Amino acid sequence: MAEAAGVSLTTVSYVLSGRGGGTTRISQPTQDRVHAAARELGYVPNRAARGMRRGRTDLVAVAVTDLEDDWDRELASAAAGILPRYGYQPVVLVGDSWRPFMLSGGADGVILGSVPADRSPADLETMAELVTRGVAQLVFSNTLDIDGVDVLPPETPGPDGAGPLFELAVATLAGRLRA
């Protein structure tokens, strides 16, 4: 790509990462050439590498039990539409896969759907571990009360659907992520 833009690899790295040029100012025409070359070559940044460097993934896991369940399916769909407005990409996980994903540092936060209403001991243990790591969590439940975890009751959707509840959930989690 550096050859395509006619600049050094260091300059390309600075421009594509959004960092300045250190003590050297990178002119706007040079930045434009780098971005044009990136588009032409179909460059896609490596999220994992960027996440390691920045210490965050910009991903939020949406953990649901069953996509056949109307409520969990609606949560996953709403999160996919709402999270990008807060600068996060959703990763929808079905079943128990959310635990190893989150414990491996897979996402900055997790929204746990309402099914099952009562969490398993393994779920509670994982949630407690994530609290110690400072990972933002939101769970829908009428029964749980966990320090460090935001809990919202899974209210029955009204005539306008569950959209306002899901918007509140994402806003709540996004606020914790930015804190």
Q: Decide which of 154 and 133 is more confident.
A: 133
Please name the residues in contact with 63: beta carbons below 8 A apart, sequence gap of 6 or more: 93, 97, 98, 110, 111, 112, 113
Cβ burial 48-85 (10 Å sphere, 16+ → b, else e): eeebeeeeebbbbbbbbbeeeeebbebbbebbeebbee
CA distance 111 to 14: 34
Cα–Cα nearest to 162, from 153, 173, 175, 172? 153
Structure tokens at 104: 């491996």
pTM of the predicted model as reported, rounded to 2 decimal places: 0.69
Peptide bond into 90 cis (omega under 30): no
- Residue-wise pLDDT for 41-72, tens only, equals 888 776 655 555 655 678 999 999 888 888 88
Output the average pLDDT for the chain: 81
- Percent of the chain scored above 70 by pLDDT? 80
| d(C-alpha 46, C-alpha 85), whole Å | 21
Question: Residue 95: what residue type?
Answer: G
Please indicate whether residue 10 or residue 157 has the higher confidence score (pLDDT). 10
